[in-house]
Amino acid sequence: MELGLKGKVALVTGAGSQIGFGHAIALALANEGCDIAANDIDLDGAKKTAAAVEKLGRKSLAVKADVTSGAEWESMVKQVLDKFGRLDILVNNAGGCSPFKPFLQMTDKDWDFDININLRSTRNGMKAVLPQMVKQKSGKIVNITSGAGIMGGMFTSGYASAKAGVIALTMGVSKEAGPDGININCVSPGPANTGFAKNAPPGFIDNFPKQLPIRRLTTTQDVANAVVFLTSDAAADIVGQVLIVSGGPAP
Ligand SMILES: NC(=O)c1ccc[n+]([C@@H]2O[C@H](COP(=O)([O-])OP(=O)(O)OC[C@H]3O[C@@H](n4cnc5c(N)ncnc54)[C@H](O)[C@@H]3O)[C@@H](O)[C@H]2O)c1
């Protein structure tokens, strides 16, 4: 199957965590021939991922930006275009969750954190890259959502609401961008042992596979494979969808 990813330029947000989805996505895209802009709020982490990309023989750029800020997005996209001259793929992966809490104990600060880091960031990212993709008359965007955004999340109501918003945003904007040759989709990972897992209650992640048909935890490579597919020519007809990569439906 020809993926058509050779020579494409991809920007992956939240790619600094060396055990996270973003790192695995950046390397998987580089393996298929993409040059990579690795973003994170943690510049050292982004630099490590950029160095790993270069080891695979592709060009890279480490960019520090807080994805909740529209101004920082503008500056980041400018840096990517200055270095590579084009931008073909955006993976809105950076995200996070306020501490797990019952709904009635959630503060406005918790709510704003969840909405900003997951939903506002995704909106900011699409707003920043779409003008360039429209100019190129092509582009692929993958937004990382979560099972919590589909089924609701117990003790994570803000996070779940934000991730549900990511799905609605993806579907809506995909209808506007499709005529310009731009495919926008979501990947919804199951719980995985990334930096994110540190936030979950003890045992939550490790015990999760017992509930799954396939009895194994989602890996960062599972999610990276799905992103490679959705950003490839093989997924040219897939628009506004949620690809669930989670070992099957949990009860
Ligand atoms: N791990 C899971 O169980 C799971 C399940 C479903 C969805 N997700 C989603 O996967 C995505 C990636 O998370 P992960 O699991 O790899 O966790 P992670 O903590 O390993 O990685 C998240 C990365 O995002 C970066 N980041 C945080 N705030 C940022 C900001 N404001 N600007 C730029 N970068 C920022 C962090 O520094 C970190 O490198 C998130 O959107 C998360 O909601 C995770």
Give the domain CATH number at 221: 3.40.50.720
Tens-place pLDDT, residues 177-201: 999 999 999 999 999 999 999 888 8
In a domain, 1, yes or no: no
In a domain, 84, yes or no: yes
Tens-place pLDDT, residues 13-59: 999 999 999 999 999 999 999 999 999 999 999 999 999 999 999 99
In a domain, 250, yes or no: no
Q: What pairs with residue 63 in β-bridges?
A: 39
Domain that holds residue 20: 9-245
In a domain, 116, yes or no: yes
Which residue of 12, 25, 39, 41 sits with most ligand 1 atoms within 8 Å of its CB, as the best mutation to test the pocket? 41
Report how far residue 238's alpha carbon sits from residue 233's, in angstroms, rounded to the nearest whole number: 10
Q: Which helix (H) or strand (E) holds 35?
A: strand 35-40
List of long-range contacts for 110-114, beta carbons under 8 Å, 24+ apart: 110/158, 111/158, 113/158, 114/156, 114/158, 114/159, 114/161, 114/162
Q: State in Å: Cα 94 to ligand 1 middle.
A: 5
Q: Where are the alpha helices (DSSP H) in the chain?
A: 21-31, 43-55, 70-84, 108-114, 121-136, 148-151, 157-177, 204-207, 220-231
In a domain, 160, yes or no: yes
In a domain, 2, yes or no: no
Domains identified in the chain, total number: 1
Tens-place pLDDT, residues 113-170: 999 999 999 999 999 999 999 999 999 999 999 999 999 999 999 999 999 999 999 9
In a domain, 98, yes or no: yes
- The binding-site residues of ligand 1, defined as CB within 6 angstroms of any ligand atom, are 13-14, 16-17, 19-22, 40-42, 45, 66-68, 93-96, 117, 144, 146, 189, 191-192, 194-197
pLDDT of 251 > 80? The answer is no
In a domain, 3, yes or no: no
